[in-house]
Amino acid sequence: MILTVKNIIFTVLVPGTVAVYVPYQIIRRQHDSMALSWEPSELLSGMIIFAGSLIYFRCLWDFAVTGRGTPAPIDAPKYLVVKGLYRYVRNPMYIGVLLTIMGWASLYRSYAVLLYVILLWLLFNGFVMIIEEPILRRQFGRSYEEYCKRVRRWIPGGPYRG
């Protein structure tokens, strides 16, 4: 129960801010109205937002159930998560967040949100390479090294069978 509450709080505060609140504020400043006409392109954009959200929540589930932790670095999973979407790519949670933001950029045809998602990916990539991966190497050792050899950081590939 406590793990669920921690995951909900983290989700609202971090991805909620990054993938919903910030894009909303950028779009709100660009548009007089946020009303939609639900054209096919808008429906497609909505599906991209939905897909990104599903990816995030699937990863959150795997962190909680398999890893017994949260996405928060201060309460990270206790076990290496190599199930679910993590079998195909090392950073699916970040990809889900970025995809959600790309959906907002597409939905409102916002170059500012597109620039935001590009800058955010650069920040995520730097964080992963400089902070996350070294911590995971120290925490999980050889099993993480093997995982990294077989699963790419950002581009999905064949399933990991480790």
Q: What's the CATH number where 83 sits?
A: 1.20.120.1630
The answer to whether residue 159 sits within a structural domain is: no
Work out how many domains the chain is built from and give that number.
1
Indicate if the pLDDT at residue 162 is higher than 80: no
Question: Which is nearest to 68 in space by CA: 81, 57, 58?
Answer: 81
For residue 151, the SS3 value is coil
Contact between residue 116 and residue 26 where contact means Cβ atoms under 8 Å apart = yes
Question: Which is nearest to 27 in space by CA: 88, 81, 101, 98?
Answer: 101
The answer to whether residue 108 sits within a structural domain is: yes
Global pTM? 0.93
pLDDT tens sequence across 108-159 = 999 999 999 999 999 999 999 999 999 999 999 999 999 999 999 999 999 9
Tokens of 57: 């929540």
In Å, how far from its chain's centre is CA 97? 4
The answer to whether residue 160 sits within a structural domain is: no
